[in-house]
Structure 1
Amino acid sequence: MSQDSICYLSGKYLPKSQATLPVEERGLLFAEGVYEVVRTYAGQLYEMQPHLDRLQRSLNKTGMTAPKDLDQLTAISEKLVAENNLPESLVYIQITRGAGPRTVRSYEGLVPNTLVVVYPTTTFDEAADMPSKTLALVPDIRWHMCDTKTIMLMPNIAAGNQATALGADDALMHRNKIVTEGTAANAFAIKNGELFTHPADNHILHGITRATVIRLARENGFTVNETALTTEQFLDADEVFLSGTTTHVTAVTKIDGQNVGAYTENCALADVYPIAQKLHEFFVSRIGSLIGSPQTA
């Protein structure tokens, strides 16, 4: 993607190379900002309203003032997708506190900044196999407001880097041996035909895709338990998968180098992950039904 692709910054559409913020912007200095990432399929914004609702909750929880263009984010996003000719894309929306002297604690008079950037992503393929990843268990050292989607992502990045150094694709984070989530996705374990995932409290992000997967599972007769599991229970699970805007439903084949359930190197993934495979198919079908038709989600 060209550096001169068009982005939006606080009321202006301009090339990314010309988009700048003041040196003393509090998002830059203190990571005082919140964000969302919205997927587009065939040019359509997927689950835009739930993302906007979560963005508003993040603003509320951080005590940030909503920008004046908050109610224009859907139109702004659609315009950028069209102008950059990126029907299959990730729309990144960020709101930061605004610029002010670094030493001043008062937020009075600060004007929040809104940034929207569109990035290309892989074309949606309904026929594609369920993706997979390997994970490594890494301590969750994040703060206790993980339900707030902030730009303060150093702990997530560090966990992912640690997992990569251990030979895995990404990290599965835990607090004192209680599994929370992945670095950028929610985690599910399946045991004896039932789904388990950490409750939607302050220790995990309340994922938009997580909620969809739970709804689809229940609608199709599966039992979903919003109950935290230990690392040992995840290691003993029959199936493990991640859910997220960019991961959809992704099977986890190994944790700390140990095969999950009946997985082996030469197996057909759908055979040993029958429930995750079904959820993948349900989710893909839901996306497919939106393409070419008005979105109602």
Structure 2
Amino acid sequence: MLCKALGGPEQLVVEEVPGLTAGAGEVLIEVHAAAVNFPDLLITQGKYQFKPPLPFSPGGEVAGVVRAVGSGVTAVKPGDRVIGSAVWGGYAEELVVDASRVTLVPEGVDLATASAFLTVYGTSYHALVDRAALRPGETLAVLGAAGGVGLAAVQLGKALGARVIACASADDKLAVCREHGADEVVNYAREDLKERLKQLTGGEGVDVIYDPVGGAYAEAALRGIAWKGRLLVVGFASGEIPRIPLNLTLLKGCQIVGVFWGAFTAREPERYREGLTELLQWLAAGRIRPVVSETFPLERAADALRAIEARTVKGKVVLVTSHHG
């Protein structure tokens, strides 16, 4: 699937292109499944931090089988089932990535599920563990809780021993959050977010807010934060970057903490690998499980991106190629 002009999902076209080869330190992956993430939508619109030269394939997260490795690669071999991560290039039947961006898939985890794992759980783990230092018994409020990163944050919050309040804009989305462990739910389309967060915490406020949404809800949530709370800035799925009155941080003795998982993986590779090892153990043990609500054939990538744009997706949607059995 090639993006030959910026302007969103409508611009994607299917084309046959020459096959790829693995250079030194690289791995060639036969792609079976590619997860669809919010940045993929932004990159097709020219609104993402990275602007690849045209034409390019969107998609930064795939699972498949190693077909070839370049010189110097010892961690994986042809035939291994792997997850591969890139910034773009994933909506295709082949992807070449640096060997450092390849992770073995645990036994018993299918490739469609594996493709939906790395970005959302990696982001949420980095946010909750590295950035917020979430402790057992603390209260975590997750905004946009039925989305991909949202559900990952709900599951990880529970795995880390927190009391989780899932916040979303519709009751059917909140029902999915309850299925995945949320202790309490708030429908912020018809309830006052600040007041509900206060009520659910006996007036104390929530310890950690996980916000991939931005817009008007960020400030409302911050007004419902506890003393020494942490507001995690994960993204702006609402399309609006909020302007926060800084006096709120003073009054609450709280922190506003940025979460940029992609930059973290590049800047702190050892810590990234440590966290990923723990996440893979939890995945293999069934403590966390990616929620793939729908799969689309690769050729229908535009439909999958439109579902993300319309905010109708619960959990993740995944593209599958002709290789996927």
Q: Same fold (TM over 0.5)?
A: no
